[in-house]
Amino acid sequence: MTHLETGLRELHRGEHSLASLLKSCRPGTVRQMRWAEAALKESAAQIMLSE
């Protein structure tokens, strides 16, 4: 079970607020966003060179 799934279950049970859930998920989201951006930049350069 992921951190988000656990947080959603706790939110549903009323153990946490939505704001606290989003705050706790933010670091992982930012890491994923940075990884995706870097992968996109790398792929874009390879695509432009292959044409």
pLDDT, tens digit (0-9, with 9 covering 90-100), for 14-40: 877 777 777 777 777 788 888 888 888
Q: Which amino acid is residue 25, in one-letter code? A: C
The pLDDT assigned to 9 comes to 82
pTM of the model: 0.47
Q: How far apart, in whole angstroms, are the C-alpha atoms of residue 28 and residue 16?
A: 19
Q: Quick one: average pLDDT of 42-51? A: 76
pLDDT value, residue 51: 62
Residue 48: pLDDT over 80: no
